[in-house]
């Protein structure tokens, strides 16, 4: 006991205040914790700790699926065996020296954070979620922080981190350490394989019917998914960008045009179609759009459940299935529009265009200069979407005049209803539904408060889109104008215990995939394209997806391209010689 640091040795006075057995038990525990260990012993005990302390969402999900203990306990034991042996195998690769301690500590913290979000938002750490996390900007990251997160992470991570910082490692020559680490790795992999075979009758059907469970195995899922998300761009960059702009040209309507077309394409964020008053929602969240006579399609579905997945897919000619199965990267809708001779500009009020705007003029409206210049609309490094409309005339005037003389496509990428800080997405004047949830720990809010905050963000999107239409009306002397709005994905607001978005597409609920699609074509663009208004209104119940956006924009702007598919053009059937 004399080797123990004094801080862990109870004084005589302290000993007299506690029963002897408790003092002895404490001393034994401290001695066990401070016992010098081999590096393999440390990683094995760390794997046991992670199994017991960082996988409660997995056990809870297995209990929910199995319902009866006789059903779910075998699954829990089987998953625990696989998870423990798999974690030991993973950590065996790091069992080298005390310089690995920071890596182990980081892994514990990551596991604690993943467990918190799995509990708080029912998040699963698949590669698409990991990719979204890696591309999260500081503003989005700040919205996800909370005191509850800090406390939860400390409760899980602090014991292991403190132990790792204190535990002495036994010295060992490199050659014995190498073969002993290899033996540990082989033994762990063999145990994992044996467990998989022995429990296949229980686990194989479960994994097939509930594939999300594999992404709840903490920290294995976090390590695998983060690695996959980080390495994927490296392989993508090595692949050539396939052009699709060959043959792109302006159609016959440009030959004798009196005014060039101006289309504003608004890419929404986290908007649910069933929370738009235009679509029959009980609350009137879209009064300003209704007053401007827009068209709203009610049965539209996204090609992803996250911005990273959906935005590139929206602008792709491949469609959702083709985009997911692609072996190469391709140019997109904006490249085709620009190759045809139009002026194209992307303005972003979020974390970037996910590669879509790389080859066309683009700008971030919420940069540091804009934040400083617009304190009423910006806080921290976030700005309200109204900033997208600031200085649009100046921005268009800066585009090549020979292109703007032909036509302009302006893309506005909203911050929209991005969660969990929904209350920050609307200014005070638009908070019609009160009281609202004002914390990013959504489980602390009632369902009514959560809905109020989200609906206020939709109401502000309504105002922003109405402002966009009003700006377009002001351009009518110079352009034939129109607007299309489509959200990238929806959002879970507590249904089935889920929050936010980003679930794997096959597992995601309807609310994460059902998105609004709104059009205003009364500024001359609909007439120019020969669209019959009555026909369009009669077709707003048609089932559409993000696959329809690419050909619909090409058709509306009269841009000819071999990639145009008329069968997917949502407006094609409504072109008439005498539009209503």
Report pLDDT digits (tens) over 396-424: 999 999 999 999 999 999 999 998 889 99
pLDDT at site 1: 38
Q: Is residue 335 part of a domain?
A: no
Mean pLDDT across 13-35? 70
**Do both 209 and 286 map to the same domain?**
no
Q: Is residue 249 part of a domain?
A: no
Q: How confident is the model at residue 93 (pLDDT cuts 50, 70, 90)?
A: very high
- Which H or E element spans position 348? strand 343-348
Last residue of a domain, one of 182, 201, 235: 235
pLDDT at site 437: 93
Q: Is residue 21 part of a domain?
A: no
How does pLDDT run across 246-259, given as a tens digit for each residue? 999 999 999 989 99
**Do both 99 and 214 map to the same domain?**
yes
Q: Is residue 351 part of a domain?
A: no
Query: Rounded to an integer, what distance in angstroms lies between the CA atom of residue 114 and that of residue 216?
Result: 9
Q: Is residue 353 part of a domain?
A: no
pLDDT at site 493: 92
**Do both 276 and 226 map to the same domain?**
no
Instruction: Collect all residues with Cβ–Cβ distance below 8 Å to 166 and sequence separation of at least 6.
Output: 33, 34
Q: Does the structure show a pLDDT above 80 at 496?
A: yes
The helix/strand/coil state of 499 is strand
**Do both 226 and 291 map to the same domain?**
no
3-state helix, strand, coil in the chain (%, to 5): 55, 10, 35
Q: Are 304 and 504 in contact (CB under 8 A)?
A: no
Give the residue with greater pLDDT, 14 vs 578.
14
**Do both 558 and 522 map to the same domain?**
yes
For the chain, the farthest-separated pair of C-alpha atoms sits apart, in whole angstroms, at 100
**Do both 193 and 276 map to the same domain?**
no
Q: How far apart are the first and last CA of the chain?
A: 93
**Do both 180 and 287 map to the same domain?**
no
Q: Does the structure show a pLDDT above 90 at 131?
A: no
Q: Does the structure show a pLDDT above 50 at 91?
A: yes
Please count the residues of the chain: 580
**Do both 277 and 160 map to the same domain?**
no
**Do both 229 and 294 map to the same domain?**
no
**Do both 372 and 500 map to the same domain?**
yes
pLDDT at site 2: 41
Mean pLDDT across 181-199? 90
Query: Rounded to an integer, what distance in angstroms lies between the CA atom of residue 494 and that of residue 437?
Result: 13
Q: Are 100 and 39 in contact (CB under 8 A)?
A: yes
Q: Does residue 420 have a cis peptide bond before it, meaning omega lies within 30 degrees of 0?
A: yes
pLDDT at site 236: 58
Nearest to 522 by CA among 463, 470, 481: 481
Q: Is residue 289 part of a domain?
A: yes
**Do both 267 and 174 map to the same domain?**
no
Angle between helices 69-92 and 39-53 (to 10 degrees): 150
pLDDT at site 305: 93
* Cα atoms found within 13 Å of the Cα of residue 425, Cβ hemisphere only: 34
Judging by beta carbons within 10 Å of its beta carbon (0-12, 13-18, 19+), is residue 173 exposed, middle or buried? exposed
Query: Rounded to an integer, what distance in angstroms lies between the CA atom of residue 574 and that of residue 567?
Result: 12
Query: Rounded to an integer, what distance in angstroms lies between the CA atom of residue 382 and that of residue 343?
Result: 28
Q: How confident is the model at residue 128 (pLDDT cuts 50, 70, 90)?
A: confident
| Cα angle: 183, vertex 189, 191; to 5 degrees | 100
Q: How many domains does the chain have?
A: 2
Write out the residue range of the structural domain in which residue 524 sits.
261-298+367-574
Q: Is residue 317 part of a domain?
A: no
Question: What's the chain's average pLDDT?
Answer: 89
pTM score, whole prediction: 0.77
Q: How confident is the model at residue 576 (pLDDT cuts 50, 70, 90)?
A: low
Q: Does the structure show a pLDDT above 70 at 113?
A: yes
Query: Rounded to an integer, what distance in angstroms lies between the CA atom of residue 523 and that of residue 188?
Result: 67
Q: Say which CATH number the domain at 390 has.
A: 3.40.720.10
Q: Is residue 343 part of a domain?
A: no
**Do both 203 and 292 map to the same domain?**
no
- Which structure tokens are listed for 413? 């990428």
- Which of 71-85, 87-101, 122-136 has the lowest average pLDDT? 122-136
């Amino acid at each position: 006991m004399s080797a123990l640091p004094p801080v862990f040795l109870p004084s005589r006075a302290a000993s007299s205040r506690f029963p002897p057995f408790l003092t002895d038990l404490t001393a034994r525990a401290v001695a066990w914790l401070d016992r010098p260990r081999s590096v393999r012993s440390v990683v094995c005990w760390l794997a046991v700790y992670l199994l017991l302390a960082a996988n409660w969402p997995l056990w809870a999900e297995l209990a929910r699926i199995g319902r009866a203990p006789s059903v779910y306990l075998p699954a829990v034991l089987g998953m625990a065996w696989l998870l423990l042996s798999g974690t030991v195998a993973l950590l065996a690769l790091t069992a080298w020296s005390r310089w690995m301690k920071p890596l182990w500590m980081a892994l514990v913290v990551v596991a604690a954070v993943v467990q918190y979000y799995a509990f708080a938002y029912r998040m699963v750490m698949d590669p698409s979620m990991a990719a979204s996390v890696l591309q999260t900007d500081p503003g989005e990251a700040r919205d996800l922080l909370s005191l509850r997160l800090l406390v939860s992470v400390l409760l899980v991570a602090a014991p292991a981190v403190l132990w790792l910082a204190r535990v002495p490692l036994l010295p060992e020559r490199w050659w014995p350490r190498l073969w002993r680490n290899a033996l540990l790795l082989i033994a762990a992999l063999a145990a994992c394989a044996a467990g998989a075979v022995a429990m296949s009758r229980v686990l194989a059907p479960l994994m097939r019917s509930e594939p999300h469970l594999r992404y709840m195995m903490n920290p294995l899922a976090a390590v695998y998914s983060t690695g996959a998300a980080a390495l994927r761009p490296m392989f993508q960059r090595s692949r050539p960008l396939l052009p699709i702009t060959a043959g792109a040209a302006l159609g016959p309507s440009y030959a004798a045009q009196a005014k060039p077309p101006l289309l504003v394409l608004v890419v929404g964020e986290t908007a649910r179609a069933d929370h738009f008053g235009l679509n029959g929602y009980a609350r009137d969240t879209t009064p300003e759009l209704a007053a401007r006579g827009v068209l709203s399609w009610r049965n539209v579905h996204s090609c992803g459940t996250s911005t990273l997945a959906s935005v590139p897919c929206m602008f792709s000619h491949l469609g959702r299935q083709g985009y997911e199965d692609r072996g190469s990267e391709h140019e997109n809708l904006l490249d085709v529009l620009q190759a045809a001779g139009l002026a194209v500009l992307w303005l972003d009020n979020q974390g970037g265009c996910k590669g879509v705007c790389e080859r066309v003029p683009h700008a971030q409206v919420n940069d540091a200069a804009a934040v400083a210049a617009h304190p009423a609309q910006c806080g921290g490094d976030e700005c309200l979407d109204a900033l997208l409309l600031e200085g649009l005339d100046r921005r268009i005037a800066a585009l090549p005049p020979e292109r703007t003389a032909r036509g302009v496509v302006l893309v506005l990428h909203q911050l929209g209803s991005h969660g969990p800080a929904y209350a920050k997405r609307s200014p005070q004047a638009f908070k019609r539904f009160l009281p609202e949830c004002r914390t990013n720990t959504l489980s602390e809010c009632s369902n009514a408060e959560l809905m109020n905050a989200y609906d206020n963000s939709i109401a502000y999107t309504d105002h922003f889109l109405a402002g966009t239409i009003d700006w377009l009306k002001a351009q009518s002397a110079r352009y034939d104008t129109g607007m299309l709005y489509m959200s990238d994905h929806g959002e879970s607001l507590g249904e089935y215990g889920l929050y936010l978005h980003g679930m794997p597409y096959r597992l995601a609920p309807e609310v994460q995939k059902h998105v609004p699609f709104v059009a205003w074509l009364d500024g001359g663009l609909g007439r120019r394209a020969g669209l019959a208004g009555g026909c369009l209104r009669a077709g707003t119940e048609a089932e559409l997806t993000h696959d329809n956006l690419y050909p619909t924009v090409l058709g509306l702007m009269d841009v000819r391209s071999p990639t145009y598919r008329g069968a997917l053009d949502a407006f094609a059937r409504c072109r008439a010689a005498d539009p209503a």
